[in-house]
Amino acid sequence: MCNSIISNWNEDELRELYQSIYNNNEAYEQLILSLKSYYKLRPLNLKKRDMEEEQWIQKRDTVGMMLYVDLFAGNLKKLAKKASYFKSLGITLVHLMPLLKPREGQNDGGYAVESYREIDPKLGNMDDFQKVIDAFHNSGIRVCIDFVMNHTAKEHEWAQKAVQGIKPYDEFYLMYDSDEIPRDYEQTVPQVFPKVSPGNFTYYQCYNKWIFTSFYEFQWDLNYANPLVFNAMAENMLYFTNIGIDLIRLDAIPFIWKQLGTNCRNLPNVHKLLRMLQIIVKMIAPSSAILGEAIVEPNEIVKYFGQDDKIECNLLYNASYMVDIWNAIATRDGRCLSHSVNRYVPKETCWINYARCHDDIGWGIEDNVLRGLGFDPYNHKQFLINFYNGSIQDSFARGRLYEFNPEDMDARNTGTLASLAGLEKAVYESDDYQKEIAINRIKLIHAIILLSKGVPMIYSGDEIGALNNYSYEHNSDKSHDSRWLHRGVFDWNKGISKDPIKSKVYEDTKQLIKLRKQFPIFDGKINQINMQLFNKHVFGFIRISEGSELKPVIALFNFSEENQLVGTYDIKQNQIYGIKTDLLQGKTINLDEETILLRPLEFLIMQ
């Protein structure tokens, strides 16, 4: 069917995908009706935005920050007044961590949603939220929210009706009257939180039911094999694009399709569901985009972009690049980084480059890459875990373990960027030299995420070098989950400018953001070529646009605390010669000489 009102109408593909999964005309027609009504309801100012702003994720001007409303500002009313903070730092995209009404008590940092149409009353209400969106839009800031689609809180109205057997909700979740099927699933499905929430099912005596709970017991997995679940969640998503949300972060996407006998991760139908959501967003709210959260193996992550003409997620977290950065920081060896980013990503999609976020760091470096570089994968992972836990003697990092498994000693790590980069230890030991080194490390990390190909996403607090916050250890709702270590209250006390460390880190970050925005070579569509350098302590890349007038940029990052020489031959191999200027420090570098000197943790951005 062709629809003259909706210009991006793409029903043929949508129908085909939908019917290939559901084969249900009635449900499909219901979906189409609701799409039309959401299009009709879409405010005119947003329709205007739709015509003007489709390609914003590729722009160098897009610089993100993620934050918890309560930790950053207290509540939504106060957040609305913070637009000037983002503006002066240069942030143009703000990801607000879960803010929908969560269940009371433990709620996995808001990822257990009780109502998709209400705001967490501790933060405000929908009116307050609308004011934040409008205030941010007026300041040129886009808004991203979490859309938790794999599960709801067990208190959600659907869940409560489901356990009472009320139709059609009785088929909204994966519930079983006996443990036969759950036991079969447990044979093949790995556990997400083996320590804090073991198993994939929870048995409820009061309902005499086994319920699929991939994450915490209070998060019940939705049953996407039921078309009504897909329709209802698509409507919930459109509700948010229609109030002006520019970026929808789809939480935990690899998990949304379950199939007995499989590991229930990254299954083909997940990709179909995501493609359908992308089609729907582009039909009804084309200026909005989808960010997928898929923290899985590198080869699987990249598949969530889809293909050039069949995009699934517009943005994905570059989790391997993040892990490689931390690996390089600990080992002072940048070689792992050379292997990332170069993977092909479809046009009109981008990586999100980040160093820290609200979650832990899981050491997902491919074994063959490690072996190729001469590391034993198990021992190397153990080194990283202990380095960032701070338990290796020479470690400068202060972090905690997360999901430690005493059987194989496996774990992930938590901690803020600054604490993992050595600032906490240096401050504690009043070591001025180490403080300076740590501040340079933070700057180097931010330079990588801000100047690499993709959209940078800074984790709130990292721009002022926030240290770990240990208060969660005394809170019974949080003490089991060390991710709260890096979820501290933003420190507005005294003002950033009065604290020398904070203001230095802040000014460094601001300067890098300004640099990114100044040069078109940092646009998302411009290629990044990672160089294979002879000196392993240095990672380097070139941003280059073949066949255009744009001058390439050569970036070199020294991960070690010692001077390093880089042979210019490695650079000249890429047909780049002559005298270059460092865009931040202004110094001149002559590529006709044999080597370039980098001071401890120095980076050069040369053009």
Nearest position to ligand GLC, beta carbon: 111
The answer to whether the Cα torsion of 316, 320, 325, 329 is positive or negative is positive
CA 265 to chain centre: 18
Query: What is the footprint of ligand GLC within residues 331-390 (CB under 6 A)?
Result: 358-359
CB of 97 to ligand GLC, least distance (A): 9
Measured N-to-C along each axis, helices 25-41 and 268-284 cross at an angle, to the nearest 10 degrees, of 40
Residue 149 near ligand GLC by CB under 6 A: no
Q: Are 442 and 449 in contact (CB under 8 A)?
A: no
The binder of ligand GLC chosen from 114, 251, 324, 462 (CB under 6 A): 251
Residue 481 near ligand GLC by CB under 6 A: no
Q: Closest CB to ligand GLC among 39 and 215?
A: 215
Residue 68 near ligand GLC by CB under 6 A: no
* Three-state SS sequence of 288-329: CEEEECCCCCHHHHHHHHEECCEECCCEEECHHHHHHHHHHH
Q: Closest CB to ligand GLC among 333 and 359?
A: 359
CB of 112 to ligand GLC, least distance (A): 7
Q: Closest CB to ligand GLC among 251 and 508?
A: 251
Residue 114 near ligand GLC by CB under 6 A: no
The binder of ligand GLC chosen from 108, 114, 246, 508 (CB under 6 A): 108
Read off the tokens for 63.
């610089």
293 is catalytic: yes
29 is catalytic: no
CA 27 to chain centre: 33
CA 91 to chain centre: 16
Q: Closest CB to ligand GLC among 120 and 333?
A: 120
Residue 215 near ligand GLC by CB under 6 A: yes
Place of tokens 């918890």: 68
Q: Closest CB to ligand GLC among 108 and 246?
A: 108
CA 372 to chain centre: 28
CB of 219 to ligand GLC, least distance (A): 6
CA 248, CA 146: separation in Å to the nearest integer?
6
Per-residue x/- track, 279-298, ligand GLC (CB under 6 A): --------------x-----
CB of 455 to ligand GLC, least distance (A): 17
Residue 127, CA distances (Å) to 47, 118, 124, 132, 452 in order:
21, 10, 8, 9, 37
Q: What are phi and psi of 230, to 5 degrees?
A: -60, -45
Residue 102, CA distances (Å) to 95, 115, 268 in order:
18, 7, 30
Q: Closest CB to ligand GLC among 73 and 222?
A: 222
Q: Closest CB to ligand GLC among 102 and 286?
A: 102
Catalytic residue among 50, 221, 251, 312: 251
* Three-state SS sequence of 101-138: EECCCCCHHHCCEEEEEEECCCCCCHHHHHHHHHHHHH
CB of 8 to ligand GLC, least distance (A): 29
Residue 221 near ligand GLC by CB under 6 A: no
CA 298, CA 321: separation in Å to the nearest integer?
9
Read off the tokens for 22.
């559901």
The binder of ligand GLC chosen from 100, 237, 252, 505 (CB under 6 A): 252
CB of 146 to ligand GLC, least distance (A): 8
Residue 110 near ligand GLC by CB under 6 A: no
Q: Closest CB to ligand GLC among 359 and 602?
A: 359
Per-residue x/- track, 20-59, ligand GLC (CB under 6 A): ----------------------------------------
CB of 401 to ligand GLC, least distance (A): 17
CA 297, CA 320: separation in Å to the nearest integer?
8
Cβ neighbours of residue 100 closer than 8 Å, sequence gap 6 or more = 110, 113, 114, 115, 116, 118, 119, 120, 145, 146, 148
Q: 394 by DSSP, 3-state: which?
A: coil
CA 439 to chain centre: 24
107-115, 194-202, 394-402, 542-550 -> range binding ligand GLC (CB under 6 A): 107-115
CB of 115 to ligand GLC, least distance (A): 16
Per-residue x/- track, 69-98, ligand GLC (CB under 6 A): ------------------------------
Catalytic residue among 146, 293, 462, 508: 293
Q: How many CB atoms lie within 10 A of CB 5?
A: 8
Q: How many residues bind ligand GLC (CB under 6 A)?
A: 10
CA 511, CA 101: separation in Å to the nearest integer?
37
Cβ neighbours of residue 164 closer than 8 Å, sequence gap 6 or more = none
CB of 177 to ligand GLC, least distance (A): 26
Q: Closest CB to ligand GLC among 57 and 252?
A: 252
105-113, 161-169, 179-187, 411-419 -> range binding ligand GLC (CB under 6 A): 105-113
Q: Closest CB to ligand GLC among 250 and 350?
A: 250
53-61, 104-112, 440-448, 563-571 -> range binding ligand GLC (CB under 6 A): 104-112
The binder of ligand GLC chosen from 63, 100, 148, 566 (CB under 6 A): 148
The H-or-E segment that residue 274 falls in is: helix 268-284
Nearest to 152 by CA among 192, 177, 106, 116: 116
Catalytic residues: 251, 293
Per CB under 6 A, residues contacting ligand GLC are 108-109, 111, 148, 215, 251-252, 293, 358-359
